[in-house]
Structure 1
């Protein structure tokens, strides 16, 4: 067992086994493990969301600085740093939670890789703590899914598999998660946030790209991974969306919900 497996893979295997024994279902074990991970990370993710919200509120001031220091990147960077310091904002606050989530995802790839071995039970038991050893194979069925296999279906004549219901739902959740993280921008504010050259703020531009890029990545990448990983990613995104709502409201979803008369 190497350092990576000892520090990351082993604890995830045992966490999964704990919830599997409690729920009797691998699917519910993945969901409850996701919630547990999210709760453990709450002291990191909540402050980072607050910092992101404050950065959104500072967007008009940042745009003014870009106009004021146009052509002088050194002065612009210093002015931005001073603005962040004055308002107590750390632009890098959201990096650590994202890195941790990616590490957990990669570790889970290793966990689900054990189900592809000739003897999954033996592979899992190598990492299991005392009292958590399996005496029989893990039941991997969850509704229509085999959580060790990709959620895809094949159409005769098509060379590539098509995403299944969970993958499609996951992509929708990714879209909503990205949308709720975007600020609510009124028409007048949209015009004010453009520079004289008509170029949008870099952060806003990235958010617009992420709005469509992440759901598409979920669809294209998800067809190659075990549906258990997709279930984890979907549950994590749902939890992230709920947390984002309580931190800063509906964000970019507000205009959509207003048109549907769901919010005023």
Structure 2
């Protein structure tokens, strides 16, 4: 019995370790003080040609540097609309920038009337209009001011090519064909340099989040013309991040099979490249992509599979602009010929099924690794795949988590069965262990030696009960990662009051679970766990029930630990995502059923109610009181 209690204490200690690790590595960093709000900050910046030397023919081109500017041509330039089942926005004809994009399938909050999630924002926040559409008075539409974030493509002149003959980031293009970019309805922009070269850029869009960008350079001149195509993603200022230690937010990419991840702070600390400022340049031979990732959203530049390019991550300190680039090799276009460059732009939600589809076609290499699978990726990926499959079958993510728990418990059942059988056998050995204890007296070494000989003779492994507990730790962290980072859990309801399994249970005992007309303190913070949400209370009760499968230990210290541990965990875990608490509750209930059934089958049915009674404080009998006198 002492070993059974030791295993349960080990389980509780390891669970406490889980909480400690969570508080150190998973809990968010304190948010830095806000110096300027987005609503009052006027941001005016644009991509401007750099001063770096032009590349020689055949070498990889150098994209324009980013700098702030007091005058932004995109404010006055016309726009082309973007309309699809998943996206809504506009393209500025100044530079042909994709700089105004909303995700129509996602809202900022659970309220269906809340604004759509805005992914990209222009430098001129108040000039959003599609070409040919009515304009609000003063030429501006009322929009929420956000930090500029956009994608821009272009060509850089090679050595010997006049920079004025290539379109710059501020060049105003004209629409050659198409009026609104939509699935099956491409839009082509055109710019003539007046010296015999015509540049075109064609945008195509599917029904999800993938743009296909085709650039062409038609040389009608009398001499060869050399230039290098590029793509840029620019973020003005550090975005508002989640600030979790284990959540990657920043630059992300894949370069010939190697994952690249750079947090924003790390980008500012990069070594200076020649003429670049803080920058990292990686030569990609065949396959790769690069961009910026948030918790649920991402923008990514992806040259056509099989293309060589230079992947760049850099920071412009003076303008406070973070930038990722794909720089393509210089093309020398002969007279009468046309040079082309094709690439993809992903701009949207990190939906696994969608991203996996783009990995298969058009073949963006290892694109699913843009999702932050974490340290236990070898567990996180299959757990998510299983949860995704269950959700497709069941249709409710909460019930899918419960189904996943059953499957995971089934997979570790052989170990659990061996553990519970070992516990039953150790109960059979209890009388012999008591006899050894009486015979050896205070000689602990002799007692331990004879007990180990007894275990060996009876083929009992006292450590068998520990392995299932140890296996729960990586499974717990992996499931936590799945619930925390995958967008499939965002705003996913279960039953009743649980409308978002990725967020803590919003109920609270402090207002009688919504019956009283005041909000619970600490809503949306870790303090919320101390207001006792419903799921936290159920978790505490399930841990208490699991504890009562074994008699209370005789040692007073252990008995006190057992008495307090379920309720301590009840307070500590209330702030976790409700989906994770649901998993833990289900896991506890299955464990109770397994242990009770298996031990009963081996002749040692746990005395659940007897253990509860023995754990309660008892009053001395009347005879005892008299004897005490």
The 8 Å contact of residues 141 and 147 in structure 1, kept in 2 or not, is answered as yes
Pairs within 5 Å for 1:67-146: 67-115=438-486, 120=487, 140-143=492-495, 144-145=497-498, 146=500
Deviation at 1:25, TM superposition (A): 0.6
Distance 1:217 1:57, change over 3 A: farther
The 8 Å contact of residues 420 and 595 in structure 2, kept in 1 or not, is answered as yes
Aligned to 2:597: 246
Are residues 1:66 and 2:437 paired?
yes
Match of 1:173 among 531, 537, 542: 542
Match of 2:386 among 15, 24, 29: 15
Distance 1:5 1:248, change over 3 A: closer
The C-alpha deviation readout for 1:185-215, integer Å capped at 9, x for no partner, is 9xxxxxxxxxxxxxx656x974x45643442
In the alignment, the residues of structure 2 paired with residue 53 and residue 209 of structure 1 have an alpha-carbon distance, to the nearest angstrom, of: 25
Aligned to 1:34: 405
Aligned to 2:586: 235
Aligned to 1:150: 504
Deviation at 1:40, TM superposition (A): 0.9
The 8 Å contact of residues 26 and 139 in structure 1, kept in 2 or not, is answered as no
Aligned to 1:255: 610
Distance 1:236 1:31, change over 3 A: same
Larger radius of gyration: 2
Distance 1:55 1:209, change over 3 A: farther
The C-alpha deviation readout for 1:197-254, integer Å capped at 9, x for no partner, is xxx656x974x45643442233122122101011000111111111111112351314
Q: How many residues get paired?
A: 221
Aligned to 2:180: none
Pairs within 5 Å for 1:50-61: 50-61=421-432
In the alignment, the residues of structure 2 paired with residue 114 and residue 102 of structure 1 have an alpha-carbon distance, to the nearest angstrom, of: 18
Q: What secondary structure does 2:463 align onto?
A: coil
Distance 1:171 1:217, change over 3 A: same
Match of 1:6 among 377, 381, 394: 377
In the alignment, the residues of structure 1 paired with residue 586 and residue 378 of structure 2 have an alpha-carbon distance, to the nearest angstrom, of: 23
Structure 2 unaligned spans of 5+: 1-368, 512-518, 614-629
The C-alpha deviation readout for 1:4-51, integer Å capped at 9, x for no partner, is 343111111111111111111110110000000111111110011010
Give the structure, 1 or 2, with the largest relative contact order (CA under 8 Å, sep 6 or more).
1
Q: What secondary structure does 1:251 align onto?
A: coil
The C-alpha deviation readout for 1:122-164, integer Å capped at 9, x for no partner, is xxxxxxxxxxxxxxx7651111112111124355585643122
In the alignment, the residues of structure 2 paired with residue 170 and residue 225 of structure 1 have an alpha-carbon distance, to the nearest angstrom, of: 12
Distance 1:97 1:256, change over 3 A: closer
Deviation at 1:173, TM superposition (A): 1.3
In the alignment, the residues of structure 2 paired with residue 205 and residue 82 of structure 1 have an alpha-carbon distance, to the nearest angstrom, of: 28
Aligned to 1:224: 575
In the alignment, the residues of structure 1 paired with residue 557 and residue 422 of structure 2 have an alpha-carbon distance, to the nearest angstrom, of: 19
TM-score, L = length of structure 1: 0.74
The 8 Å contact of residues 150 and 222 in structure 1, kept in 2 or not, is answered as no
In the alignment, the residues of structure 1 paired with residue 378 and residue 403 of structure 2 have an alpha-carbon distance, to the nearest angstrom, of: 21
TM-score, L = length of structure 2: 0.33
The 8 Å contact of residues 501 and 579 in structure 2, kept in 1 or not, is answered as yes
Pairs within 5 Å for 1:174-189: 174-180=543-549, 182-183=550-551
Deviation at 1:63, TM superposition (A): 2.8
Deviation at 1:71, TM superposition (A): 3.0
Deviates more, 1:209-218 or 1:87-96: 209-218
